[in-house]
């Protein structure tokens, strides 16, 4: 049975951890789905890992929809969540409704994710949810604010930690079905997780969250840079380089193709 936002909430109640990975194309998405991932996030990190930008900021809504449509074709069971790119939802509630509506209509996604939890964003989440659009929140390190914060850990001081906690509570009250906690101290993530009834999905936020999300290129060892908190389960960089070198050698020496 395809996974829904409601399943994620039930799994928190049952203390069943949630596993999420990102995808940006059909091939990766179908492998993740067949392997049994709970949800697939078409994260705006695709701007960096698939399109070669330095930050997530340049990604457009049209580019996100293009990638999400490809991912959708590979997903049968997992919940498909799509990021709202930078400045496609912060201007006004109307802009957020328009962008999130396009994502749901044009890609077949089951939910959208947006960054930030300050009062304005909680209001936006509430209006999206009232319009029937499931929303995942994202607080802590929010890469769309990289020009203000850098990629540094957030929530280190008591005051900053309390602000992130109150943002998470505001998002839950606004109707978000889950919240990503990115790169914050593990103790803070544990406290937020205990206070919320919706699941927290950690990335660089320790083991006390209800689930984990990682960027798939980091998990596969694809790409040149990965955050310290990510775990590579494979070294695809090396495997691909070796395979390409072997192919070049065989073509040049006449070993491939055979008669």
Among the listed residues 167, 182, 249, 259, the single catalytic one is: 182
Task: Look up 182 and say whether it is catalytic.
Answer: yes
Alpha-carbon separation of residue 23 from 39, 121, 145, 251 (angstroms)? 10, 25, 22, 32
- Quote the least distance from Cβ 25 to ligand KIV, whole Å: 14
Q: Which stretch binds ligand KIV (CB under 6 A): 27-35, 43-51, 63-71, 96-104?
A: 43-51
Q: Which is nearer to ligand KIV, 231 or 242 (CB)?
A: 231
- Quote the least distance from Cβ 64 to ligand KIV, whole Å: 10
* Dihedral, 46, 52, 54, 57 alpha carbons, nearest 10: -50
Q: Which of 23, 29, 45, 165 binds ligand KIV (CB under 6 A)?
A: 45
Give the span between the Cα atoms of 181 and 193, in whole angstroms.
Answer: 9
Q: Which of 23, 135, 203, 220 binds ligand KIV (CB under 6 A)?
A: 203
Alpha-carbon separation of residue 223 from 42, 50, 131, 215, 219 (angstroms)? 17, 9, 38, 11, 10
Q: Which stretch binds ligand KIV (CB under 6 A): 41-49, 63-71, 87-95, 165-173?
A: 41-49
Per the CB < 8 A criterion, the answer to whether 128 and 97 are in contact is yes
Task: Confirm or reject binding of residue 38 to ligand KIV (CB under 6 A).
Answer: no
Compute how many residues bind ligand KIV; rule: CB under 6 A.
Answer: 11
Known catalytic residues?
A: 182
Q: By the criterion CB under 6 A, which residues form the site for ligand KIV?
A: 22, 41, 43-45, 83, 180, 182, 203, 213, 215
């Amino acid at each position: 049975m395809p996974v829904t936002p409601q399943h994620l909430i039930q799994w928190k109640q049952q203390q069943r951890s949630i596993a999420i990975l990102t995808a940006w194309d059909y091939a990766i998405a179908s492998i993740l789905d067949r392997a049994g991932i709970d949800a697939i996030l078409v994260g705006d990190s695709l701007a960096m890992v698939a399109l070669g930008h330095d930050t997530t900021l340049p990604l457009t809504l049209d580019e996100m929809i293009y990638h999400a449509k490809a991912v959708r074709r590979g997903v049968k069971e997992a919940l498909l969540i799509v990021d709202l790119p930078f400045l496609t939802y912060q201007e006004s509630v109307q802009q957020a409704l328009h962008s999130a509506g396009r994502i749901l209509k044009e890609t077949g996604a089951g939910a959208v994710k947006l960054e930030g939890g300050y009062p304005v964003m909680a209001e936006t989440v509430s209006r999206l949810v009232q319009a029937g659009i499931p929303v995942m929140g994202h607080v802590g390190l929010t890469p769309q604010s990289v020009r203000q914060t850098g990629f540094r850990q957030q929530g280190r001081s008591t005051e900053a930690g309390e602000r992130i906690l109150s943002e998470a509570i505001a998002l839950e009250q606004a109707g978000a079905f889950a919240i990503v906690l990115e790169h914050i101290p593990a103790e803070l993530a544990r406290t937020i997780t205990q206070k919320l009834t919706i699941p927290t999905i950690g990335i660089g936020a320790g083991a006390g969250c209800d689930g984990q999300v990682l960027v798939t290129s980091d998990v596969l060892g694809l790409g040149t840079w990965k955050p310290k908190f990510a775990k590579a389960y494979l070294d695809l960089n090396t495997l691909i380089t070796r395979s390409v070198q072997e192919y070049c050698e065989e073509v040049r020496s006449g070993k491939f193709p055979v008669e």
